[in-house]
């Protein structure tokens, strides 16, 4: 589901996703560029909450890419390290929103003519350690 509000779009999961106990995850969201404003730079944010404590090594890889036109090499260059609980200062850190949810910048892209196909946002952690208590509301695209 995609909702338009203010200067952004929220791709929302029909019911919030709750991470219980796992060792790795791969969260993906896609949006068609033709429904976004043309000639506009967007930032993709993961909107989430942490219930109590999260996991020990709380870092993940985030990437934003055009599905049909970016090679794996280019995607690897665009991947950034994020820290969902804010305990890893060398990574991008989350901020608290006015509605009580947290958001973290997963990357940006420029929507030129709006004919670039789908843009994909991906958050993954394949490090072998237990993770829990992550609640995901959705992925938000905000214009800059």
User: Which are the contacts of 120, defined by CB distance < 8 A and separation ≥ 6?
Assistant: 28, 29, 30, 64, 65, 66, 67
pLDDT digits (tens, 9 = 90+) for 43-73: 999 998 887 655 455 788 899 988 877 555 5
Distance CA 137, CA 123 (A): 14
Say how far residue 129 (Cα) sits from the centre of its chain: 21
**Range list of H helices, the chain:** 72-78
Pick the CATH number of 2-143 from 2.60.98, 1.20.1070, 3.40.50, 2.60.120: 2.60.120
3-state class (DSSP) for residue 97: coil
List the chain domain ranges.
2-143
pLDDT digits (tens, 9 = 90+) for 64-99: 988 877 555 555 667 888 988 777 777 889 999 999
């Amino acid at each position: 589901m995609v909702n338009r509000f203010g200067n952004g779009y929220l791709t929302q999961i029909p019911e919030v996703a709750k991470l219980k106990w796992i060792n790795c995850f791969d969260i993906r969201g896609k949006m068609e560029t033709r429904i976004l404003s043309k000639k506009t730079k967007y930032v993709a944010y993961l909107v989430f909450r942490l219930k109590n404590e999260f996991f020990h090594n709380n870092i993940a890889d985030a990437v934003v890419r055009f599905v049909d036109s970016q090679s794996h090499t280019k995607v690897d260059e665009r991947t950034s390290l994020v820290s969902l609980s804010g305990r890893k200062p060398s990574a991008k850190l989350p901020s608290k929103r006015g509605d009580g949810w947290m958001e973290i910048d997963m990357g940006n892209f420029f929507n030129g003519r709006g004919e670039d196909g789908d843009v994909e946002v991906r958050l993954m952690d394949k490090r072998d350690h237990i993770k829990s208590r992550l609640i995901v509301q959705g992925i938000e695209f905000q214009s800059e």
